[in-house]
Amino acid sequence: MKQLRQTWKAALQMGLCLLLLTWIFHTIFRGEGQQAWGIQWDQLSRMEQWHQAWTIGPSQLWHALRMAHPAAICLSLVLTWLMVILGVIRWRMVLKIQGIHLPLSRATAISFISQFFSSFMLGSTGGDLIKAYYAARETHHKKTEAVVTVFVDRLVGLWTMLFFAGLMMLPNLKLLPGHIGFSAIVALILGMLFSSTAVLYLAFWGGVSRRFPRARVWLRRLPKGELLERSLDSCREFGKHKAFLFKSILISLVINTLVVFQVIILAKGMGLDISTMALFLIVPVVICISALPITPGGLGVRENLFVLMLGGIGVVKTSALSLSLLSYASALFWNLVGGIVYLGLKDKEHLQEVTRENSDESVG
């Protein structure tokens, strides 16, 4: 019964993803068809309009994708790889606070595997569950702390991106009043920033147990209470290291900047004239919202947001969708590399487990 519920849940999430993608593709393709037919468009029946939309639209989208310069695509791939590596460096800093020393090669392999699973798990951060699983396997006596490092690493990265987006609202204030969609999205980002700041503060410095002395007693009575308390104590360690917070936030800001530059380079490679300052707001906003666990890999959510926000500053919808797809393709390339790493690592570790079992049997 549990497996059936999980299957239905996954099917519903995938269905939502496909629905969002179909809706945005159909809306854009319909616009391309209407532009091609001109005033004769209204004389067509509904089915004829749909047929023409899905005949003309894909070719126009493919044309927009082909406009990207190969050099821009290659540079985009390099920047995406650099983001992953900087993420690995930041995670190893988090691990070090908990006294877990993971070799660079191992941390990189696990990070690429988590990138692979992010492609089809909820939100763009879904692979963190797999990362936490592998992290816990790296230690025998600090499994809880290893899992906490993945949570803290993601929390710091997300908070920094939200802060970055909030900061970029200031030079883009002129965009906000004239676009209803922008205003709603900005309100959501500010709400996420406020919530993540509260979580970050409570996780690192707490204060609840000082104000309510029996809070820890109630925590222990909860299911897995001892595990939750140990996780909370692990989080407190990060609040004691101000240098760690400064360095991890600094690395996160560099990653955020590279994320924006990747989109800027692709936009330039496609010949699109988009305000650089506007992209410094739009890209972080899209990244933050698509990280929410709504659809697998944030697919559909990201494309709709790109089209909505870029359309608000005059970018043609087909071009906005193409830019979003190219940006995602760069990440997907390295996600597939992570899949290859996963298959190789899985086979290698399985062989090691079998060898260990055989060795134990021989000793017995």
Q: Report pLDDT digits (tens) over 225-264.
A: 566 777 877 888 888 888 888 999 999 999 999 999 999 9
pLDDT at 349: 58
pLDDT at 81: 94
| Rounded Cα distance, 89 and 107, in Å | 9
pLDDT at 361: 42
How would you class 249 by CB atoms within 10 Å of its CB: exposed for 0-12, middle for 13-18, buried for 19 or more?
middle
Q: Are 149 and 94 in contact (CB under 8 A)?
A: yes
Average of pLDDT values for 187-212? 83
Q: What angle do CA 156, 161, 165 make, to 5 degrees?
A: 150
Tokens of 271: 């010949």
pLDDT at 261: 96
The closest alpha carbon to 284, from 192, 168, 156, 137, belongs to: 168
Tell me: the pLDDT tens digits for 1-60? 666 666 666 566 566 666 766 766 777 677 667 667 777 777 788 788 877 877 877 887
| Rounded Cα distance, 297 and 324, in Å | 13
Q: Is residue 197 pLDDT above 90, yes or no?
A: yes
Q: Is residue 210 pLDDT above 60, yes or no?
A: no
Q: What angle do CA 291, 299, 305 make, to 5 degrees?
A: 75
Q: Report the share of the chain in percent with pLDDT over 90.
A: 26
Q: Is residue 280 pLDDT above 90, yes or no?
A: yes
Domain segments of the chain as ranges = 71-352
